[in-house]
Every structure is written in C-alpha cells, then in structure tokens.
Structure 1
C-alpha cells in the first residue's frame, strides 16, 4: 500500500508541477503588462501564495476529516479553476478578476506542496525523507516542462485570439484539474485513514507511558525548528525567483531565455530530491538544514554579482536557489512528520503550510518593492544573508 500511494501521488505531481511552474513563469510579466509598473510585478506571487495560505489550512482540515484523497483532489481542482479565471482576466484586461483568480490559483500551489505529506503516511521513520523526495522528484517532469512550453502556449493563445501570456495559465488549468482527478480516482484506500488505524492499534497495545512527556516536548521543538527551516527557505526562494524574469526582461532577454532559466531553477527545486531525501535520512535533518542556508547564501551572492547579460551565470544562480530550497523543504518536512501523530497530522501540516505560504507571499510582495526602490542586486544579497538565520536555529535544536 505504501508503494501504491507513492505511485499515485507521483503521477499527480507530474501534472501539479506543470501547473505550478507554468503560472510562476509568466505571472510577474502578466501583472507588469496589465498594471504598467515594475513595483507591482511581485503582486502575483504574493497573491497566489496568500491564496495558498488559506488553501493550505482548508486542504489540511479536509484531509484530516475526509482523508488525503478528498483534500488533495479538491485543492488541485480549485487551483485549476483559478487558472481559468486568470485567462479570462487577461482577455477582458480586468485587474480585479486577475487578483481574485490569482488568490484561487494559490490552492493548486498549496496542494502541490501538501501532496508530499501523503507519501509519508505509511512510511516508517527511516523512509520518511526518502518518501517525500520521491514525490517531489516526480514533480520535476512537469515543473521543467511548464516553463519551456511558455512560447508554445503563447502561440496557441494568440492563435485563438487571447493575450500570449495567458497561454501558460491554460496549461496550468488543464494540469491542475488532471492532477486532482488522478488523486480522486486512484488514491484508494486512503493512506491517512490507514495510518490512523495503525496508530490507534499501537496506542491500544502500548504498555509503557513513561516517555510521553519527553516525546511531547521533543515534538514541540521539532515542529518549531522544521517550520522555521521551511519558512526561511520559502521566503528567500520566492523573493529572488519572482523578480528574476523581470530583471532579465529589463536587460533584453526574451521569453525563451527566461523560460530556460526558470526551468533550470524549478528543476533544481525538485530533481535532486531523491538524493536529498536519502541524505536527510542518512546524515540527519540538522546537517541538511545547515546546507540549505549555505546554498541559499551562495545563490543570492551569485545572482547579485552575475553580469545581467549572462544567461549561464543566472542559470547557475537560480539552480543553487532551487537546490537550497530543496534541502530546506525536505529536511524541514521530515522534522514535521517526525513530530506529528496521524490523529492530528494533516491538520497540523496544513497549519504549518500556512506559515510557509505567508512567508512566500511576503517575499513575493516585498521583492517588487525592493527592486523598484533599490535594485535586483540588493534583493539577492539581502535574501542570501537572511538564509544564514537557519544555522543558529538548527544549532539550538541540538541542545537538550
């Protein structure tokens, strides 16, 4: 059953990754085009990550009450409807409809992240990071394809008489809805329901309760550290990633080059997951959290120092940015799973994903303002330095 769950979730993540990546690639450019200002280019990332915050809470509660199948399928389908709304906003040039639709589109973003938890429900403690990584690495196939289909979807959009940038959201709509249907049809029996039954059986047959207080304290600490690692990683990654397409367009790069850079970035976010998961399980959550902070710092410095006309250096910088996020997300998620019980796991995970989404919303909203008032260099260096906060946090977690 554990293997079957991983297969089903992995299939859905291929579609989910395409829906996520396609929207991210052109979201800032669409807002810039409709609003006519770079200062608001970070608004789409802020809106769909804010929407994902609300969706994360709802999907978590739905999953806790009705199972992963219902919660995840609902989230993906709602995200697909948000993508449809963005397309109509571009057709009618309606900024209000764009903002509302981007909020709804965020449901797909939240669900794409929460799906990683489904693979851990039936995993033992030494398999958890690996289970997370398997579902994430499958996201790569769609996530890399999405940005590289920007030009093709733009051509299709123009052919049917709608703005070119809206084409990517047509792809997002189809991909998210397919991801939801895969989960709704194939994710049976529900893994969280089985995990609850196993936990209840174990609790009923438990003989010694002396370690409950110690475990509870360790669980609270694990939740705090895991959440901090994921929040900081998300903030830094979203801030720099959001403004990279705008930075590149201002320096004469076309949509194809922008799509290549973002494609490498999202590939680095997901493709190394299998190796990252094994490293987290083998050498520990703490070591990989520190590696996340250092990698994000290097990404920020390289993005700041790279010549604006160098696509190669921007690819390397954005790849490091994705890799640092990957280290932080998998190590942080593993700590969250370690620190929760099936009876409350989905609800707790959804609540913590709200913090991640709000961190992304803050990073996306502030990034445009920072660049408009200072520069992309300042944003990149500031983000890199912020990531260093991870190191004292995880060192504190090792103290008894």
Structure 2
C-alpha cells in the first residue's frame, strides 16, 4: 500500500468515526472486484426479498394460526417468541459457518432451515399439533437471521466509503417482503383450502417456495464468495505492506514482539471495548423498537381503535424501519457513523416522548411509531457499518454474528417483558421504561464515541 493510499484510508476512518486501520478493498479494488460487488448486491437484494416473504407471512399469521390450532388465545403469544428465538439461536452458528466456509454456505444453510420451517408449520397445522407448528415458526425465524447476515455480506467487498450505501440498500429490500408477506393471507387461504390444510396455513406454501428460491439464488449467485474474496485481498494487502522502519522494528523487538503484533496491540483493547459498546447500542434500539411496537396493537384496541387502524399504524412503522434506510446509509457516509447514531437516538427520544403523551390519540401513536422506526433504522444501519469498520477482517463474521444474536435476543426478551409492563400499567408506563433504557443507550453511545476518539489520539 502506498503512503498516499494509507493516509487516505486513515483520514476516511477518522471522518467516519472508526478506529484507525487498513481497508484492503479500498486500496486493492480493481474493476473486476467492483463488478463482483455490484453483482453481489443484486443477488443479496433478490434473496432478501424472497426471504422476507417468509418473515412477513410468519409474523402476520403465526399468532392467529397458533390460537386456531391450539384453541387457546394465550398460546398465540408464543408465535413472536419462538420466531425471535429462532433468529437469535441462528446468529452465531451461521457466523461460524461463514468464518469457516464463506458467506454463501451460511446464507444457503439459513434459507434451507427456513424452508424446512415453512413445511413444518404446514405439517403442524395440518395434523393439529400446535408444538409442531411452533417449531416450524421458530425455524422460519432463521430467515430473519439470514436477512441480518445478508446486510453484513454486502460490506465484505465494499470500500469503506461505500459500505453504508451497500448495506442500507440490502436492508431497504426487506421492505418488499415485509409489505408483500402479509398480503398473501388471502391467496394463501385459497391454497390452504385446495390442499386440505387450515386456510391460514396456506400462506406458508408461498413462504416455502420463496425460501427454496432464495436458497437457489444464493447458491448460484454468490460465486465467488464475497467473504473469501475479501480475505484474499487482505492477504495481498499484507504482502504489499511497507516494511517497518529500523527504529520501529527495534522498539518492537525490545518489547519482545514482532512489529505487526506491536501495532495490533496498540488498539486491541480499544477495539474490543468499541465492538462491545456498538453491539449494546444496536441492542438498545432493538429493545425500544420491539417493546413499543409489540404493545401498540393492544393500546390502540383499548382506546377504540379498529383492525384497520392497527394495520395502518404497523405499516407506517415498518415503512419507517426500512423504506428510508438508504437515506440513513447516505447520512452515515456524509455525517459519519457516530453522528448518524446520535441522530437515531434523537429520533428514538422523540418517539418515546410521543408514546408517553399519546393517550387515546391514534394519530400521536402513529407519529411515535414512525419515528420509532426511523430511529431504529438510523442506529442499526450506522451501528452495523461501524462494527464492520472497527473489526479486523479475519474475525468480522464472528462479531457480526454475535451482534445479530444479541439483537434478536434483545428483541425477543423485550417483547415478552413489554407485555408484563403493559399489563401492570399502560402504554405511558411502557414509554417511561423505554425512556430509561434509552438513557442507558445514550450513555453507552457517548462512551463509544470517547473510546474511539481516545484510540485515534493514541495511534
């Protein structure tokens, strides 16, 4: 790497709020690599749309179908829990597969599990055994983990300056499946009646087909594997790295370390702290988003709302979560990773305040849910890019998988505890609790900014 290229990379990292480091894709990218990245984004976008159909279907009919099969409305609450548990459980195993064999095999494995889940859900509904149906919903939850993994896959071959754009574009594609999925209930009922299963289970026929297609798209399209290709670039960058000066080598040798080891240890502790803090900030955004969203339908119904009002409110919320993700990708590049996280926290604060004062006003609740989705989008897009920036390439899948697992688990736990809080008090009490969690998240974000700033000063 030339001195000029190294200076440019460090300046870019500093501007984005990242720890100092090298970006082999930035310095060694060729027209062939850039073309491969463009193709990778297209493949990931298509597979994300297909995978999203299963997610949208499971979230829209899972609770209703569980209640119908079990004959107990209380059982319906397990739908979101097992779905979230499936997503959380899959995060780290899929990351390990990516570490050893590449992103392609990890994405294909996840989509195949979701395909099996859709078939299992159909079977559980057909035989009238709700635990089998619940297992199927849990396996379909793996599709959510695949979506999270796909957004990180979009960064493997993306230069630093384009990571946020490429990641946010793949996230934006989730919108398509999230919108189409629930609208398959009607056609699914026709299919369900035709094949002799409960009408609501028919939607999982579409989900199974979509997951099978997503498997094929990833298997055929992700050749060569983006992560394995990025590793080769990193190896080339290491070979082309300038030899350290005699003074640096002597200093490192006197400390009993190789020059490379000495350089790594300068920021190793700060990097580990920053990685953990970034994951916590993302998890806080997930806690707020799931907790408030999960109880919104009940709050609206308790204040004279209708099913149509609930549907509109949730649609607006989903639009806030995904539709503007490219905008936050743009801001992440222009303002920086940390400033965009700050924007997200500000939006989340406004959402919590509106939820607290909403009372019986459905319009205020809808505004709160829109801002909640926007704040979540800003934090998760910028946070995912920041985690990628500050993590060495050779261990990125591990930390990305850990982030996805923590994010999914935080959402699952938040959804369950939100029900308890709502039962004890009301929507305003839930908003107060969300506000306290957000204060903690803001403190963690400030700690993260100070950690990165001090690391740059000491480098």
Mark yes or no: TM-score above 0.5: yes
Pick the aligned partner of 1:118 from 134, 140, 153. 153
Q: Work out the CA distance in 2 between the residues paired with 1:384 and 1:163.
A: 42
Paired residue total: 398
The alpha carbon displacement at 1:195 in A equals: 0.3
Question: What is the SS of the residue equivalent to 1:398?
Answer: helix
Question: Over residues 106-159 of structure 1, what are the superposed CA-to-partner deviations in whole Å (9 max), with x where a residue is unaligned?
Answer: 211111111101110011222111111011112212222223444443455456
Contact map agreement 1:51 1:103 (CA 8 A) in 2: yes
User: Does structure 2 conserve the Cα–Cα contact (< 8 Å) formed by 1:297 and 1:385?
Assistant: no
The equivalent residue for 1:83 is: 118
Q: What corresponds to 1:281 in structure 2?
A: 333
* Structure 2 residue aligned with 1:366: 417
Q: Which moved more, 1:378-387 or 1:96-105?
A: 378-387
RMSD over aligned Cα, in angstroms? 2.6
Alignment match, 1:36: 72
CA–CA distance in structure 2, aligned partners of residues 245 and 354 of structure 1? 26
- Give the equivalent residue in structure 1 for 2:253: none
**Whole-angstrom distance in 1 between the partners of 2:355 and 2:204:** 27
Query: Judging changes above 3 Å, is the alpha-carbon distance between structure 1 residues 167 and 258 closer, same or farther for their aligned structure 2 residues?
Result: farther
Native 8 Å contact 1:143 1:267 kept in 2: no
Q: Would the alpha carbon gap of residues 349 and 30 (structure 1) be closer, same or farther in structure 2, given more than 3 Å must change?
A: same
Distance in 2 of aligned mates of 1:159 and 1:314: 40
Q: 1:246 to 1:55 in 2, by over 3 A?
A: same
Give the deviation of 1:218 after TM superposition.
3.5
For the pair 1:195 / 2:247, whether they are aligned, the reply is no
**How do 1:238-249 residues align onto structure 2 when only pairs under 5 Å count?**
238-248=290-300
Partner residue in 1 for 2:346: 294
Question: Once structures 1 and 2 are overlaid, which stretch shifts more, 81-90 or 296-305?
Answer: 296-305
Alpha-carbon distance in 2 for matches of 1:60, 1:363? 24
Comparing 11-20 with 26-35, which one deviates more in the overlay? 26-35
Cα deviation digits, residues 278-298 of structure 1 (max 9, x gap): 111221222222222232233
Q: 1:386 corresponds to which residue?
A: 437
Q: 1:268–1:320: 8 Å Cα contact kept in structure 2? A: yes
Please tell me whether the aligned partners of residues 77 and 177 of structure 1 are also in contact (alpha carbons under 8 angstroms). yes
SS at 2:141 equivalent: helix
Alpha-carbon deviation of 1:9? 0.7
Distance 1:26 1:305, change over 3 A: farther
* Distance 1:368-1:262 versus aligned 2 partners, 3 A rule: same
Task: Encode CA deviations 1:213-251: one digit per residue, 9 max, x unaligned.
Answer: 233234213312220111111122122223334545566
For the 8 Å contact 2:54–2:140, the answer to whether it is kept is no
Q: Which runs of 5+ in 2 are unaligned?
A: 1-35, 245-259, 455-459
For 2:217 and 2:438, locate their aligned partners in 1 and report how far apart those are by CA, in whole Å. Answer: 36
1:216 corresponds to 2:251: no
How far the C-alpha of 1:56 sits from its partner, in A, is 0.9
- 1:266 is matched with 318
Map 1:1-400 onto structure 2 (within 5 A).
1-33=36-68, 34=70, 36-37=72-73, 41-154=76-189, 156-157=191-192, 161-206=196-241, 207-208=243-244, 209=260, 211-248=263-300, 257-306=309-358, 310=362, 312-399=363-450, 400=454
Distance in 2 separating the partners of 1:98 and 1:382: 33
Give the TM-score, by structure 2 length. 0.79
Give the Cα separation in 1 of the matches to 2:199 and 2:350: 35
Max radius of gyration: which structure?
A: 2
Give TM-score, length-normalised by structure 1.
0.90
